Amino acid sequence: MTSRSPEIAAARERVAALLERLRRINLQVVVVAPPDATRLAARDRARAAAFAAGRAELFDEAAAAARDGVLRAFASGGFSGTWAVTDWSISVANADDRAAAAAAFEEAAMAAVVEDLVDEDTLEDLLATTSELERSTGMPSPGALSALTGRLTGGANGPRSVVLLVLLVLAGAYLAGIFGSTVGLLVFAVGMAARTLIGRRSGTDA
pLDDT in tens, 159-178: 566 666 667 667 767 766 77
Same domain, 121 and 170: no
Q: How many domains does the chain divide into?
A: 2
Same domain, 11 and 108: yes
Is 85 a domain residue? no
Query: Percent of the chain, pLDDT > 70?
Result: 57
Helices (H), the chain: 6-22, 37-52, 56-77, 95-114, 120-135, 145-149, 158-179, 181-201
Same domain, 120 and 57: yes
The answer on pLDDT for 74 being more than 70 is yes
Same domain, 149 and 127: no
What does the pLDDT look like over 122-157, one tens digit per residue?
999 999 999 888 887 654 544 444 444 444 444 444
Same domain, 154 and 98: no
Q: Could you give the 3-state DSSP secondary structure of residue 2?
A: coil
Is 1 a domain residue? no
Given this model, what pLDDT does residue 154 score?
A: 42
Kindly tell me the sign of the dihedral angle through the C-alpha atoms of 86, 92, 96, 98: negative
Same domain, 161 and 120: no
What integer is the mean pLDDT of 90-107? 80
Same domain, 182 and 163: yes
CB atoms within 10 A of CB 112: 25
Is 46 a domain residue? yes
Query: What is the domain extent for residue 165?
Result: 145-201
Same domain, 56 and 158: no
